[in-house]
Amino acid sequence: MNWVRGKMLGSGGFATVNLATHKDSDIFPPLTAVKSSDTYNSSFLLSEKKILDSLSSPYIIRCFGQDQTYENGEESYNIFLEYAQGGTLSDQLKKHGGKFPETLVRRYTKSVVEGLKHIHDKGFVHCDLKLPNILVFDEGEVKISDFGLAKEKGFKSEKWECRGTPMYMSPEAVNESVYESPADIWALGCAVLEMVTGKSPWNVSCKTNMWWFLTHIGMGEEIPLIPNELSEEGKDFLEKCFVRDHLKRWSADMLLKHPFIFDCDDENVSLMKELNIKESSLPFPSPRTHFDFLHWSSSTSTTLPPNLELCESEFQHGFPSLAERLQQLVVDHKPSDFLESDGWCVVRSN
């Protein structure tokens, strides 16, 4: 395979992401993103490629193939993914003043729901949907990326585990470690809130205690605050995403028929041209695939978390069951290893 590794987009504890230039290839476009890890830590990439090979949708990032290379004395496993010149929806949100107009939110949301429907129909759960994992392409098209934590429907670990980003976790994920299709719909609601308000789905500060926050999601009756500036259709859409009983939460197929996104494509064409999506030049923390993540890092873990404060640093957490957490709080038993950083660092791409 004839390709050249280009500038680095990001690096982390188990993988790096670079631009890749391909020469004389009928399979690969001239420019892709290559995600690489040493063979010992390649399990996330192997899982991601396997799932992406099972999916085929204009709303989901494409994987072109894999390769193994020997560079700088180390053997690497590489997967080649679509390169998004517009960066992520998180990047674009910053670039355009911290909020999107509702017409644009509707268009982006419809594309994401289309992608989720395909993922769920194919028997998978994404487990880490959020704005930094939604990539922006030419003409403003968006695609779901980062399937490193995705899983097959119905599969449950023998141990309690935490998958994804705590800020977007659903009540059933916190309480019972249940990660099925409804968990993606809850995360979708969180992403829509961020596009509308430019703020985190939960009103927390840097002094908010992690234990309290997760207990609040799992045991409380509240849902993320739905903004008043949203239309009645938008408010109703979010209410369908934030049903605390996951068995009653709307599915992606049902949401596609909701008036908030049912017929919104035509009215957004001129708006997309006005926004003029360009290649992102923002510095960002590196992600599990191409770009950054916010509000705690994505992770999958079965280890006990520290009693942490909620800040913008990227950490990796694991969580015991709710009953175990409360018991640990009562006896003030703390783990020997209070936090485990996933090692991602900030890299400028220019």
Look up residue 262 and give its amino acid: F
User: CA-CA distance, 296 to 166, in Å (whole number)?
Assistant: 7
Cα(203)–Cα(206) distance, integer angstroms: 10
Tell me the Cα Rg of the chain: 20
Handedness of CA 116, 259, 240, 272 (dihedral sign): positive
- What is the distance, to the nearest Å, from the Cα of residue 13 to the centroid of all Cα atoms in its chain? 18
Catalytic residue among 24, 67, 128, 146: 128
Cite the beta strand spans of 23-92 per DSSP E. 31-38, 63-71, 74-81
Q: Which of 146, 147, 153 is nearest to 122 (CA)?
A: 153
Q: Is 128 a catalytic residue?
A: yes
On the 0-12 / 13-18 / 19+ scale of CB atoms within 10 A, 74 is exposed
Q: How far apart are CA 273 and CA 290, in angstroms?
A: 24
Buried b (16+ CB within 10 A) or exposed e, 278-307: eebebebbbbbbbbbbbbbbbbbbebbbbe
Token pair in block for residue 164: 């994804």
Helix (H, G, I), strand (E, B) or coil at 326: helix
Report d(CA 183, CA 179) in Å as an integer: 6
The residues assigned a catalytic role are 128
